[in-house]
Structures are given as C-alpha cells and as structure tokens.
C-alpha cells in the first residue's frame, strides 16, 4: 500500500460518514465545521460547486481545530491545484481524467477518484488506486451493486456518495468493501441557513454512531 493510500485511509477511517458540503456563504464555513467536529465528524468534504468553496476550505483548514478539510467535485488539474493551495488535506473527484491523475501523481495530497463500472475500477487500479469513490451510489445500483464488486475486486475499498441518508447508510456500512460513506444529510440547507449549529452537531453525532 502506498504512503498516499495510507494517508487517505487514515482520513476516511476517522468516521463512518464524511459530510459532503455545498457552502454558499463563506461565513457559514467555520461554525458549520465546528458543529460537525463537535459531533464527531472530523473529515469534511467541501465541494467545489460554489464561488465560496475555496475560501471555505481555507477558513476550515486554518481556523477549525480538529477538522480535516477536504475538497470535493474536483473535475480537473486546475481544481486540484487550487484546492491543495487552499489547504485541502484530501481531494475527492466523481470520476477521473488523465490530467487529474497527473496532477495527483505530482502531489503529496491523496486523491479519492470516482469509479462505477468495472472498466473504470480496473483502469484506476492500474494507476495504483485501491480506494475509490462510488457516485452516484443509489442511482448506480446501491449497496447490492457494491457488494457484487467485492469478489472480482478483492482489496478495493469504496466510499459511496449520492442518495445516502441515515435511513440506508447502514446497508452500505455493513459491507466489507466499504470504508465509509459520504452524505449531505448531516448539514441540511435549512439548518445551515438558520445557524442551527446545535442541530447539526446532533445529526453529526447520530451519523458518527452508525458504526458503533
């Protein structure tokens, strides 16, 4: 196992659920991350889907004790480099491209690339990746699909994201080839907008307890 894979696993194994955040207002980043960390969710994926994303990553990386800030929805080498410069300690992509893999190869920051099909998994394994994102999980076949991958791809671990909630997370977490799941339900838009950080801490604690 490579040093970068070990580094990635050390992050993903911190908790059963990695929060997947879409932060519209950078002012929410620090109190939101603090609320999640207080509930036990230290590794936090901030997606590059908003203009505030890079500033949010920087704020969480610099100001939130105990948080491990990561960047998600990384689609190309430029995104990768921007996210690393902002302080990301892990990078998540829904898929992979040659440019993205080249950027990751030259960096000390680990990449969690996405794969769904057998061919995509095989291609990434050839590149040395044994820990993969599976997105969109529910829409692409769910827990049963990922379970079926465990035999032909023994030793490959997945972090599924997409359509996962408190209700079905245990279906995934019970599988031997799942390292953790990604979920947005721990930080609902309405609670973030209301500044209900105690409510988010409660949701984070419930998610943290999924793997008791």
Express each pLDDT in 177-187 by its tens digit.
999 999 999 99
Residue 127 placed within a domain: yes
Q: Is 59 inside any structural domain? A: yes
Q: Is residue 212 part of a domain?
A: no
Domain that holds residue 122: 3-205
The answer to whether residue 210 sits within a structural domain is: no
pLDDT value, residue 1: 81
Does residue 137 belong to any structural domain of this protein? Answer: yes
Instruction: Judge whether 211 lies within some domain.
Output: no
Closest to 54 in 3D by CA, of 38, 35, 40, 74: 74
- What's the number of domains the chain is made of? 1
Whether 19 is in a domain gets the answer yes
- Which of 127, 81, 75, 71 shows the shortest CA–CA distance to 103? 81
- At 38, which CATH number? 3.20.20.70
pLDDT tens, the chain, 212 aa long: 889 999 999 999 999 999 999 999 999 999 999 999 999 999 999 999 999 999 999 999 999 999 999 999 999 999 999 999 999 999 999 999 999 999 999 999 999 999 999 999 999 999 999 999 999 999 999 999 999 999 999 999 999 999 999 999 999 999 999 999 999 999 999 999 999 999 999 999 999 999 85
List of residues 6+ apart from 193 with CB closer than 8 A? none
| b (16+ CB within 10 A) / e for 139-160 | eebbbeebbebbeebeebbbbb
Active site amino acids = 45, 133
The answer to the question of residue 128 being in a domain is yes
Distance of CA 164 to the CA centre of its chain: 13
Q: Which residue in 71, 92, 73 sits closest to 83, CA to CA?
A: 71
């Amino acid at each position: 196992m490579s040093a970068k894979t070990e580094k990635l696993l050390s992050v993903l194994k911190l908790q059963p659920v990695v929060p997947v955040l879409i932060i519209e207002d950078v002012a929410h980043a620090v109190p939101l991350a603090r609320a999640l960390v207080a509930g036990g969710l230290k590794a936090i994926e901030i997606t590059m889907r908003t203009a505030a994303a890079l500033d949010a990553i920087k704020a969480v990386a610099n100001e939130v004790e105990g948080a491990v800030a990561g960047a998600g929805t990384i689609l190309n080498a430029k995104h990768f480099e921007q996210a690393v410069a902002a302080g990301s300690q892990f990078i998540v992509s829904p898929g992979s491209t040659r440019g993205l893999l080249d950027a990751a190869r030259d960096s000390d920051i680990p990449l969690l690339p996405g794969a769904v099909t057998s061919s995509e998994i095989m291609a990434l394994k050839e590149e040395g990746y044994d820990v993969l994102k599976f997105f969109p999980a529910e829409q692409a076949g769910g827990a049963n699909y990922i379970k079926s991958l465990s035999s032909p791809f023994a030793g490959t671990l997945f972090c599924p994201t997409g359509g996962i909630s408190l209700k079905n997370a245990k279906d995934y977490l019970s599988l031997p080839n799942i390292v953790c799941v990604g979920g947005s339900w721990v930080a609902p838009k309405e609670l973030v907008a209301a500044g209900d950080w105690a409510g988010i801490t409660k949701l984070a604690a419930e998610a943290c307890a999924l793997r008791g």
